[in-house]
Amino acid sequence: MRSFWIFGNQLSHDLEMLDHVKADDVIVMIEATSRAMWRKYHKQKLVLIFSAMRHFAAELRDRGFTVDYHEADSFQDAWNDHFSRFDPEAIHYTAVTDEPMERKLKHFGDQHELIEHTDVPLFYLTKQEAVDTLGSEPWRMDRFYRHMRKRFDVLLEDGKAKGGKWSFDADNRQPPKSGLTFPPAIHFRPDAITTDVIRKVETTFSDHPGQIEPFAWPVTRDEARRALKRFVDERLETFGPYQDAMLTENPEMSHSLLSAAINVGLLTPHEVIEAACATDAPLASVEGFVRQILGWREYMRAVYVALMPDYRDVNTFNHERDLPGLFWDADTDLNCMHESLKPVVERAHNHHIQRLMVLGNYATLFEISPQQTSDWFNEMYIDAYDWVVLPNVLGMALHADGGRLATKPYIASGKYIDRMSDYCKGCKYNPKQTTEADACPFNALYWNFIDKHEERFSNNQRMKMMVRNWQGRDDDVKADILAKARQTLTDSP
């Protein structure tokens, strides 16, 4: 007999590997405590993975597969038990992307025969195809995205971009309006399996961060498909224009909340994109959503595969300050940070602009260690995996790779946050002030960053205007701003 190993982020009935399982073969699934302890993962992330694994194992048994499911301290303990009972001639597995797991698999392969299967349809591209599609540097997501649209015939008419444009990003940046409401996302009540997992996590991982209840994420394919249907039928229309907006006490807005289900395999990116493209939602909304998955998701994974393992250590700006404790409890009087961190603590999630333009912006301007920042993202988000966190945080949010992934650092002053949210109305700091006592800290720190790196960005097409703006200011004004920035850094936790 042969063993077929399925990991906790490969919970798809469409795995190519399953086509090779015969009647006397055994599927192995391991709920390993030590794997969960690699990092101090948010409690809700642990609940999602363990519950989804248990549900998936039950579904496989219902389909007639033999499943050897282990709750073990480590993968090795589980395999020792499995080998003592089954003694498989070979171990089949679906290719993994996360480099730490790949290293462990290589070590495991020194002792056992391993046979790798493709990870499509968990992604559109295999790892080698992803690297090949990147091509030679400089890499650009827009070019990658156009190639993907053409290759997979997505939103095309007669081979050209539907609607005459490859990107409708300019239509999807509307600030929030007074009285703006959104159709609610579907939330799920924990069943007996999930309730049991919640008890386990609360007991075994009591020192892990985050709140554990209410837990409302989909943990089965059926629930994930219902969440997808709710999104494309009722929420996709308003996702597009307001995807960059932020609202107090409304962290979900019209965001899909599907990334966790996609990243554990409950939904495939193919079916999600097909569902979005089949709706009557405005083209700008559909294209904006498609770009996140077919463009951004595949591009981030491709960059990760191409640059690991060295990529995890990038630190172009030599930022070394420690990540402050407010990232774990949202206890801060900077309201945009409080409102962006609160849903992470409560539900292990917030949307991409909160991640990029508030939290990432803070980490860059406050000169926080990129590695501490990416570790926090990896631990705290329900949809986080090494392959998506490192390029998204180190490359896109922090520009710590010096521009290999993105052309500019995504930094902003308090004026941007004020324009794209209602956060500043409830804040003690004034986004219109720079050096005054109540000035928003982001303002002076923004110009401090420009000052420190003006030579680097003076010829950057997307940054040089701001560099020239800074260079043209009066020396006394610049000195006051830099003094305010230094004081802000000194006073910050």
pLDDT in tens, 256-298: 999 999 999 999 999 999 999 999 999 999 999 999 999 999 9
**pLDDT for 170 beyond 80:** yes
Confidence of residue 93 (pLDDT cuts 50, 70, 90): very high
pLDDT confidence tier of residue 109, bands split at 50, 70 and 90 = confident
Record the pTM. Answer: 0.96
pLDDT single digits (tens) 391-434: 999 999 999 999 999 999 999 999 999 999 999 998 999 999 99
User: Residues of 99-116 as b/e, b for ≥16 C-beta within 10 angstroms?
Assistant: bebbebbeebeeeeeeee
Residue 34 has pLDDT above 90, yes or no: no
User: Is there a contact between 421 and 178 (Cβ–Cβ < 8 Å)?
Assistant: no
310: Cβ contacts below 8 Å, ≥ 6 apart? none
For residues 249 and 79, which has the higher predicted lDDT (pLDDT)?
Answer: 79
Length of the chain counted residue by residue: 493
Our measurement of the distance from residue 395's CA atom to the centroid of its chain's CA atoms, rounded to an integer in Å, reads: 13
Residue range 328-344: mean pLDDT, rounded: 97
What is the residue type of 326?
Answer: L
Share of residues in the chain with pLDDT > 90 (%): 93
Contact 492, 327 (CB under 8 A): no
